[in-house]
Structure formats: structure tokens, C-alpha cells
Amino acid sequence: MPSPQEHARREEAPGAPLSRFLNGLGALALGPVERLGESVLLFLAILRRLPFLFRGPGLLLEQIARMGVASIPLVLVISVFIGAVTAVQARYQFHGLIPDTYLGTAIAKFVIIESGPVLTALVLAGRVGAAIAAEIGTLKEKEELDAMTVMDLDPLRYLALPRLLAGFIAVPLLVVFSCLCALIGGWLVARFSFGLTSQAYVQGTRFLFSGYDVWVGLVKAVCFGGVVAFTGFQEGLRAGAGARGVGQAAMKAVVSACVWILVLDFLIIFMLY
Amino acid sequence: MSASPLIQLRDLRKSFPSNGKEQEVLRGVTLDVARGETLVIIGASGGGKSVILKHCIGLLKPDAGEVRVEGKVISSPDGVDAQTIRRRMGMLFQGSALFDSMNAGENIKFAVREHRPELSEAQLDALMREKLQLVHLSPDMSSKLPNELSGGMKKRLALARALALEPEILLYDEPTTGLDPVTAGVIDDLVLDMQRQLGVTSLVVTHDMPSAHKIADRIAMLHEGKIIFIGTPEALRASDLPPVRAFVRV
């Protein structure tokens, strides 16, 4: 005797499988659009709280310290090595074609426009974005977000706004610091491994130096900072129940931020050059 | 008690997604809470008791039905903003939901500082000490972080925090769950004190029957998404309804 499900399958209209397939396809296509729409609405909702910032800048300063100052050691280490690796790679690629005196030029261009903002943001997505997602996810899990709402304390004002603005402010500052560290890392290799004089290295960095490149790097850094903080907060809000849900939220925050950083990197370069 | 109920739930329905399907948790809950009374909702774990509380304070919106507080609809976009009602309500969460990053004193003062900016720090401190004493906690523990407190102390601190905004309605979500009988008794006494001393209206959800009998003016039983019984604790004991008998006997 057929089961009820089997019976229903035999009885269904001839076009039903196609209809189900199209429904599934529609849901697949609309899902990302819906998520993007949600993100835009949340972003605008956070920005609408901007006037409250002037009533309590303490939360913003605390977040800048947590996001920016606490990340300095990590950014220092990765940036010095980025500069060093860039120096080695540049010399390997240019060897026999371009004199070593232009090493500083290559390092400065690459670090300011590309590696400084992008790699710093990717590292911060792992350090800061994941931490924000885990923190907000835990607050949600422990009903602290509900408790805030019950006491008429707006979570977007007290939690989201300071983190988002801290992302916009702290990441560009860290990127500037990162670029300086990378230039020092490049100089260390150029000076002590390749025997380039410090004067030649500095002259190389100044050759073809453009303020526009710095501006592009900062535009990227501001955008990436917002992405890191916003995706962290949004994934935290979406976190499922329990430790697994919080862990998943942290992972999704890092993945989303990394993807958006690289997509925005392309779009900004494409539009500004 | 006045004639018009303070909180009215009418044919409340709510579903949540579960394993790809919609699971209906509330299937037409109708309930009135009178001003000044303590109404306890009992029922099995996972049966939707906390969902009812979250509807009463506007944390959840019903799929169908209506929530009225003081005659004002808070459950639909056409009704009043739940925010305006919330300021008159306090809630004690099942896990206390204390702000872990703040000490006990700050947990109490935080919301008051935001909503009553005219108060000085000295006045806030005085208010904090008063609320701590109200729940029989020493003001000396105001510097402790929530993770340094026992389960019972956390519940009492959460109650002090809820009282700081001087609510007219208090919602308690499983106030005695996870506590030893002596501490649970202390919490029960506090619920009674809040009603007697401050005249607050209380809506309590629990599956702790001794606690329900001790604090309730009336008890409502939620079974399979509906209120199947409502009456005094004595009427509950005398009820012939099989689900009530089974629950009370356990």
C-alpha cells in the first residue's frame, strides 16, 4: 500500500515538478537580494542614530580603542612582513630589467594602493569582525539585546553605531600605520639583504609618489572599516542559538567581510583609476 | 482590582520555523490580566509560555490576534508604539540577562541614567542602593560583576534592575528555574512583596507548581497552544481536566 506521501506524489498535477523547480530557483535568486535589502535597511537605520553620538561619545572612543589600539601589535607584525615580502618579490621580478634603486617605488605604490588597505582589512575582518559577531551573538543568546529593548535602550544606538563609526575611523588609521610599517619592512630587506642605501630607498619611494594614491588607499580603508564592523554586527544579530550559532556567526562575519572587501577593492580601483 | 483588564490577549497565534516547516506554538490564546493581580501561566517546557510574555511587552508580534495594554493595541503597526508601553513594564528574564560587562550597580543605573538625565550621580547611587535593599541585596555588592554572583543573587539583581524604572507591570520568565528550594522561596517572597508593597501587576510564567501556588492570585494553564484552564489555585487543584490533573500531580 503506498504511503500518503507516495500517494500525493502520484496524484499531483503534471506541471507540479516544474512549478516546484521554478519556485526553488526563484527563492535562490531572491534570497541574496532580500539579504542585501535587509543589509541596506539596517545600515540606514544605524546611520539614523548618528545624532545620538554627540550625547555620549564615550562608547565610540571605547570601540576605537578596542578595535584600533588593540590591533596595533598584529598590524605591526603583518605589515613589516608584507613590506619585506614585497621587497623580495619586486627584486625577483625586476632583476636584470629595472635597477634596485626603484625598489622603494614599487614597494610604496603597492603598499599604499593595495596591500596596506586590503591586507590590513582582511586581517581585521578575522580579528575585529569575528569578535563583534561573537559578542553580539552572545548578547542575543543571553537575551541581553531583549533586555535592552525592554528597558527602551536602543541596541542600534548603543551597540551598532559606536562599532560602525569606530570601523570607519580606526581602520584608516591602522592602514596608515600599516603602510609606514610595510615601508620600514621593505627598507630592512632592501638595506640589509640587497645592500641598497637608505638614501636610494627613500628616493625610490618618493619617485612617482602621488597624493592621489594615498587618497585612494584611504577611501578603500574607510569602506573596508565599515564593512568589517557592519558585517560583524549583522551576523551577530543573525546568530543562531547556542555556542554553535555564535561560532557560525563569527565565521560568516569573516567570510562576508573578506568577500565584500575584495569586491569593493575591485570596484574602487575600477572607478578611481 | 478594576473592572477593565490591564493586559488583554485576544486569539493570539504565533508560528516559528522548525525543520523547514512552520510550527504553530500559540493557537489562539485569549487571556486577561487584571490590574494589581499576580497571574501565573503554567505549562510544559517549550509550550510557548515565554512567547506569551514576549508578546505582552512587544518583543514579538503575533501572526494573528491582538495584544492590548491598558486598552491600547500594541501588536499591530496601526496601534501605539510598544516602546511607549515598555517604559511602564519591567521584565525578569529566565537567564537574568544582566549586562555582563557592567558591575551590579551599573546594571541598575544604566537605563535610569539614560531615561532620567536630570538625576545626579549621587541620586543615581541612592536609587541603586534603595533597589538593592528592596530585593534584600547588600549595597556593598554593587561593585561585583554578574559572573561573580550566585544564581539567586543574579535573579534578585535582575529584579532590582527591572524595578529601577519603577514599572507598573512586571513580567517574570521562569523566576525560580534552576534555583534551590530555599532561594526559590526567597524569589517567591519577593514577587509577593512587589505586589503588596508596590502594587505592581505581575504576569509570571513557570512550571514550578509550589511557586505557582504560593504567589498566584489566578493560574492559567497553557496546553497545546491554548489556555485550557484559568482560575484560582484552589480551583486548579479541584480541576477534572486530564492535562491539568497530569500537570498538577507531577
Q: Do B59 and A150 touch (CB under 8 A)?
A: yes
Q: What is the DSSP annotation of B27-61? A: EEEEEEE-TT-EEEEEE-TTSSHHHHHHHHTTSS-
> Is the CB of residue B165 less than 8 Å away from at least one CB of chain A?
yes
Q: Over range A210-216, report the average pLDDT.
A: 94
Residue numbers in chain B where pLDDT is lower than 70: 1-3, 77-80, 249-250
CB atoms within 10 A of CB B30: 14
Q: What nine digits make up the cell of A184?
A: 620600514
Strand-by-strand arrangement of the B218-223 sheet: B89-92, B169-173, B201-205, B38-43, B218-223, B226-231
CB contact B5 to A (< 8 Å): no
SS3 B79: coil
Give the residue carrying C-alpha cell 623580495: A88
Are the beta carbons of A152 and B83 separated by less than 8 Å?
yes
For A103-135, write each residue's pLDDT tens digit.
999 999 999 999 999 999 999 999 999 999 999
E strand residue ranges, A114-205: none
Question: Domain extents for chain A?
Answer: 72-272
| B79 C-beta neighbours (distance < 10 Å), count | 16
- Compute the average pLDDT of residues A21-26: 82
Whole-Å CA distances, A132 to A61, A74, A245? 16, 17, 14
Q: Across the interface, do A152 and B87 touch by the CB < 8 Å criterion?
A: yes
Q: Which of A252, A120, A255 has the alpha carbon at shortest distance from A182?
A: A120
ipTM of the complex: 0.87
A175: closest CA of chain B, how far (Å): 29
Secondary structure (3-state) at B197: helix
Q: How far apart are the first and last CA of chain A?
A: 70
- Kindly report, residue by residue over A53-108, the tens digit of the pLDDT: 877 788 899 999 999 999 999 999 999 999 999 999 999 998 888 888 999 999 99
Q: Give the pLDDT of residue B78.
A: 66
The DSSP element (H or E) to which B68 belongs, if any, is: strand B64-69
Q: Check A142 against B97: CB less than 8 A apart.
A: yes
CA torsion, ordered B210, B215, B217, B218, to nearest 10 deg:
-40
pLDDT (0 to 100) of residue B234: 94
CB contacts of A157 in chain B (<8 Å) are: none
pLDDT score recorded for residue B70: 87
Q: Is the pLDDT of residue A2 over 80?
A: no
Pairing of strands B72-73, B89-92: unpaired
**Beta-strand pair B38-43/B218-223:** parallel
**Cα distance from N-terminal residue to C-terminal residue, chain B:** 32
pLDDT at residue A14, as a whole number:
66
What does the angle CA A67 – CA B110 – CA B127 come to, to the nearest 5 degrees?
A: 155
Burial profile A232-253: b = 16 or more Cβ within 10 angstroms, e = fewer: bbbbbbbbeeeeebbbbbbebb
Q: How far apart are CA B236 and CA A247, in angstroms?
A: 45
Residue A114 has which C-alpha cell? 593595495
Chain A contact residues (CB < 8 Å to B)? 142-144, 146-147, 149-153
Q: What is the mean pLDDT of chain A?
A: 91
Q: Which residue has the cell 544564581?
A: B151
pLDDT the model gives residue A16: 76
Query: All 3 cell numbers of residue A47?
Result: 546611520
Of B95, B114, B165, which is closest to A142 when you measure between CB atoms?
B95
Helices A161-192 and A58-67: crossing angle in degrees, nearest 10, is 30
Q: Count other Cβ atoms within 10 Å, centred on residue B86.
A: 22
- Answer for the pair B36, B201: CB distance below 8 angstroms, yes or no: yes
Contacts of A153 in chain B (CB under 8 A): 110-111, 114
C-alpha span between B164 and A121 (Å, rounded): 42
So what's the pLDDT on residue B80?
Answer: 67
Query: Mutate which of B99, B115, B161 to disrupt the A interface (most A C-beta within 10 Å)?
Result: B99
Contacts of A68 (CB under 8 A, 6+ apart): A166, A169, A170, A171, A173, A174
User: Which three three-digit cell numbers place residue A261?
Assistant: 572587501
Q: What is the mean pLDDT of residues A141-167?
A: 94
pLDDT for the residue numbered B197: 87
pLDDT for the residue numbered B86: 83
Q: How many Cα neighbours within 13 Å face the side chain of A98? A: 12
Q: CA–CA separation, A229 vs A234, rounded Å?
A: 9
Distance from the A245 Cα atom to the nearest Cα atom in chain B, whole angstroms: 15
Instruction: Please judge whether B115 and A152 are an interchain contact, meaning their C-beta atoms are less than 8 angstroms apart.
Output: yes
Mutate which of A151, A157, A246 to disrupt the B interface (most B C-beta within 10 Å)?
A151
pLDDT for A189 equals: 96
Nearest of A162, A266, A178, A258 to residue A220 by alpha carbon: A266
Give the pLDDT mean for A180-192.
Answer: 96
Task: Round to whole Å and give the CA distance between B4 and B22.
Answer: 35
Query: Residue B169 and residue B37: Cα distance in Å, rounded?
Result: 10
How high is the pLDDT of residue A24?
Answer: 81
| A143, A149, A157, A159: best to mutate for the B interface, most B CBs within 10 A | A143
Tell me the Ramachandran region of residue A250: left when phi exceeds 0, alpha when psi lies from -120 to 50, beta otherwise: alpha
Inspect the interface and report whether the beta carbons of A150 and B57 lie closer than 8 Å.
yes
Is A3 a residue whose pLDDT tops 90?
A: no
pLDDT at A6: 53
CA atoms of B155 and B141, how far apart (whole Å) = 14
Three cell numbers at B239?
A: 480541576
pLDDT above 80: residue A1: no
Q: Tell me the backbone φ, ψ of residue B19, rounded to 5 degrees.
A: 55, 45
- pLDDT score, position A12: 59
Which three cell numbers mark B204? 509570571
Spatial separation of the C-alpha atoms in residues B109 and B61, rounded to whole Å:
29
Closest by Cα among B204, B240, B199, B238 to B219:
B204
Q: Using the beta-carbon criterion (under 8 Å), do B93 and A151 form an inter-chain contact? A: no
